[in-house]
Structure 1
Amino acid sequence: MAGLDISFYGSSLVSAYWNGAATYYRGIIRALAERGHRVTFYEPDAYERQSHRDIPDPAWAKVVVYANDEASARRALDQGRNADVIVKASGVGVFDALLEAGVLEVRRPDARVIFWDVDAPATLASMRGDPSDTLRPLIPEYDMVLTYGGGDPVIQAYRAIGARDCIPIYNALDPETHHPVPPDPRFAADLSFMANRLPDREARVEEFFLKAAARSLERRFLLGGSGWGDKPMPANVNYIGHVYTADHNAVNRSALAVLNVARDSMAAVGFSPATRVFEAAGAGACVITDAWEGVELFLTPGEEILVARDGAEVAALVADLTPERSRAIGEAARRRMLSAHTYAHRAGEVESLLTNGAPAKPVFA
């Protein structure tokens, strides 16, 4: 097929600062570019992201940074109007309502317009709970809704409010970005965890990470991410602040195990593996995750990932984990990711949706 011109309105492609979707955007867009599609990514100069860039403008996408004002957002919409496909991602953070309506207004008659939801539980909760929500009446006008997780509960919820279709395009691995590297003594730990402090994550982090640390004072725990500086922590927790993506592989390779903790809303709907699961597995790390429905569709519990129901189980898993078993689980997880869950797989699904209206093959292999 001929390559498509795609205008993509999202939070940020060049900065992961307070922007958990960055890894997902980069993996999907880079893989689409490798299939011959041309993506222009429009992002606002907001939340200090441009001063915390962690990649330069990439060769595989054109990045347009627009000023954080309404006139500039409208100009960005006008610049992208001639694309074959126009994408509005959730959670841009500024002028979302303007962009959600604007992509539908500027489209060519033969163009496809997609709402791509990178936080479906939060978006659906807003549409259900706020009578003045401006997105809900627009959903039926989009050609399709794509999400980065959620499974059947999210699919049915979107269809119930009028979506023509809703298809999950799950997180995945970019093996060129996330891969094994030598351990780094700066990040040595028995259990590491990286995530920003958010209200609907904090209680689960207290349970699965901080309580596990308090039960394992002879073990070393490492915490990365923004916002945790004033959080009371056991003495065996080393808090290192924001971790730039260039150090993610080293963090994931330097611990006996890497923890994944879902946000409350993601855990509730299930089928929502976070990018850190794929990053860590791609680096060959042994991942311990909190329990959520659907984990076995991505990695086999006990063989490719370890699953815990609370902090006590996390502590027990760390206590029983040997370097040999950690390595075996990490290597098995990496093999599974490379065989079924790379962004090349996901880009094939997206391309098929844009051309045939259905994925080329099942998401899970």
Structure 2
Amino acid sequence: MKLVVLGLSLSSSWGNGHATTFRALLKAFAARGHDILFLERDVPWYRNSRDMPEPGFCRLEYYSDLADLDRFEADIVAADAVMVGSYVPEGVAVARYVQDRAEGVTSFYDIDTPVTLAKLERGDFEYLSPEVIPGYDVYFSFTGGPTLDRLEQQYGSPAARPLYCSVDATAYRPLDVPKKWDLSYLGTYSPDRQPTLERLLIEPARARPDLRFVVAGPQYPDDIDWPANVERIEHCPPADHAEFYSASRFTLNVTRADMIAAGWSPSVRIFEACACGTPIISDIWNGIETVLEPGREIILAKTADDVLAALASDADTLGHAARERVLAEHTAEHRAAELEAHLQEALTEPMLATA
């Protein structure tokens, strides 16, 4: 299969979770014998921080603006499938460009589904509009559950399918390194996540100055009052993620408000930490129990006291169980097989309709 992907970024993981998601998925998809072209908008903030400028599993090309996509028009026309990702600059115009030209299956991969739907409800059509949704043959959603019905019934998607994030188990695995921190958090600053981070990491850090904490990620405001036992790392590149998680006794998962409201939205960080054998303390949302079993494979917390109690539990047993679950269900190989099956289904449906 020839697949063309127009995504936010493959080359740079700075300030986004899309790059690692695409890398794991497309590397596994290529390993299944498929040919991939990834088209990335050339923007300075990613151009200046590319940590994978030459992926070995696909062809990566850059375009400067919508008109520059004409250089790849023949690739888009000839592809068996074309996928457009969420947060692609001028995404609505890109959708129309692809839908007008592609002769194969067209799909949208939403790695931000609850945020996308909240934006649509506000009339914010930054990268997707209601008018272009029915023009995509398949809407791949980072979120499962009732949201899939909403995409089909309210927005007219011909086929909404779950495509959760996943993990490259060859890159994310337990490493034999000293434990530096009792609790870590890896994530870019987000205003709607910050209150939870305050409650589930900063408050426990203040209560237990004898424990060690770390927050890794860019864009945190200078006015945050970090306790002395909270280390700050401005950017932790994917190549260092396995070591970061392996050096953590526990790690924290904090979910954006729109994703909590929608439920069924596991972050890529959940799968990455589990693959490293690092136990997770998480905020609570509907559907999390379908991904990991609370109390056995993940600890759910509402308060700082919940976190402090979790930090006193058996990390090794929890981490081992979580790793086994993720390796059995949520690797990039699992997700690539799902993507292939859904695309093949969409490719054969028009043939069946005309038979």
- TM-score past 0.5 threshold: yes
Contact 1:192 1:258 in 2 (8 A): yes
Structure 1 residue 154: Cα displacement: 4.3
Segments ≥4 residues shifted beyond 4 Å:
76-79, 131-134
1:219-258 superposed matches below 5 A: 219-228=211-220, 230=222, 231-258=224-251
Mapped contact 1:13–1:26 kept (Cα < 8 A): yes
Does the CA-based 8 Å contact 2:114-2:143 persist in structure 1?
no
AA partner of residue 178 (structure 1): Y
Q: CA deviation at 1:329?
A: 1.0
Q: 1:141 & 1:100 partners in 2: Cα distance? A: 8
Q: Does 1:97 align with 2:92?
A: yes
Shift of 1:88: 0.7
**Any idea what SS the aligned residue of 2:233 has?**
strand
**Residue 50 (structure 2) aligns with:** 53
Q: CA deviation at 1:156?
A: 2.0
Deviations 1:149-198 (A, max 9, x none): 2422343244311111211111222111111112256xx11100010002
Report the CA distance between 1:311 and its aligned residue: 2.9
Residue from 259, 262, 265 that aligns with 1:269: 262
Tell me the percent identity: 32
Q: Tell me which of 275, 294, 301 is aligned to 1:282.
A: 275
Alpha-carbon deviation of 1:204?
A: 2.1
Give the equivalent residue in structure 2 for 1:142. 136
- The equivalences for 1:111-260 within 5 A come to 111-130=104-123, 135-184=129-178, 188-228=180-220, 230=222, 231-260=224-253
CA distance 1:86–1:220, shift in 2 (3 Å): same
Most deviating of 202-211 and 216-225: 202-211
Q: Tell me by how many angstroms 1:78 deviates.
A: 5.4
Q: Given that residues 211 and 229 in structure 2 are in contact (C-alpha distance below 8 angstroms), is that contact kept between their aligned partners in structure 1? A: yes
Q: Which runs of 5+ in 2 are unaligned?
A: 348-355
Letter in 2 for 1:42: L
User: Against the structure 1 CA distance between its residues 73 and 214, is the aligned structure 2 distance closer, same or farther, given a 3 Å change threshold?
Assistant: farther
CA positional deviation for 1:299: 1.2
Return the offset for 1:59: 1.8
Highest relative contact order (Cα 8 Å, sep 6+), 1 or 2?
2
Distance in 2 separating the partners of 1:316 and 1:35: 44
1:344 to 333, 339, 347: 333
Corresponding letter in the other structure for 2:185: F
User: Does the aligned pair in 1 maintain the 2:137–2:346 contact within 8 Å?
Assistant: no
Specify whether residues 147 and 15 from structure 1 end up closer, same or farther in structure 2 by C-alpha distance, changes over 3 A only: same
Change beyond 3 A, Cα 1:47–1:20: farther
Deviations, residues 29-54 of structure 1 (Å, cap 9, x unaligned): 11111111111000012152122122
Cα distance, 1:216–1:78 mapped onto 2, change above 3 Å: farther
State the SS of the aligned residue for 1:171.
coil
Q: Which residue of 1, 9, 12 maps to 2:9? A: 12
Distance 1:191 1:242 in 2: 17
The 5 A counterparts of 1:32-47 are: 32-47=29-44
TM-score (norm 2): 0.92
1:32 partner amino acid: F
**Corresponding position of 2:299:** 306
Task: Give the distance between the partners of 2:47 and 2:316, measured in 1 at CA.
Answer: 37
Residue 86, structure 1, aligned to residue 82, structure 2: yes
Number of corresponding residues? 345
- One-letter amino acid of the structure 2 residue matched with residue 71 of structure 1: A
Residue by residue over 1:99-123, the C-alpha shift from the partner in whole angstroms, topping out at 9 and shown as x without a partner, is: 1211101112xx1000111101111
Distance 1:195 1:281 in 2: 16
Partner-residue secondary structure (3-state), 2:134: helix
Once the 2 structures are TM-superposed, how far is the Cα of residue 273 of structure 1 from its aligned partner?
Answer: 0.8
Question: Greater shift after overlay, 55-64 or 37-46?
Answer: 55-64
Looking at structure 1, the residues matched to 152 and 100 of structure 2 have their Cα atoms a distance apart, in angstroms, of 22
SS at match of 1:209: helix
- Greater Cα shift, 147-156 or 131-140: 131-140
Q: Please state how far the C-alpha of 1:357 moved relative to its aligned partner.
A: 4.7
CA distance 1:345–1:59, change in 2 (3 Å): same
In structure 2, relative to structure 1, the CA distance for the partners of 1:32 and 1:313 (3 Å cut) is: same
Counterpart CA distance in 2 for 1:107 and 1:282 is 37
Q: 1:77 to 1:130 in 2, by over 3 A?
A: farther
Letter in 2 for 1:292: W
- Output the CA distance in 1 between the equivalents of 2:170 and 2:125: 43
Aligned partners of 2:212, 2:193: CA distance in 1, in Å? 22
SS at match of 1:299: coil
- 1:97 Cα deviation (Å)? 2.1
Q: Secondary structure at the match of 1:211?
A: helix
Which stretch has the larger CA shift, 349-358 or 251-260? 349-358
Please say if 1:71 is aligned against 2:64: no
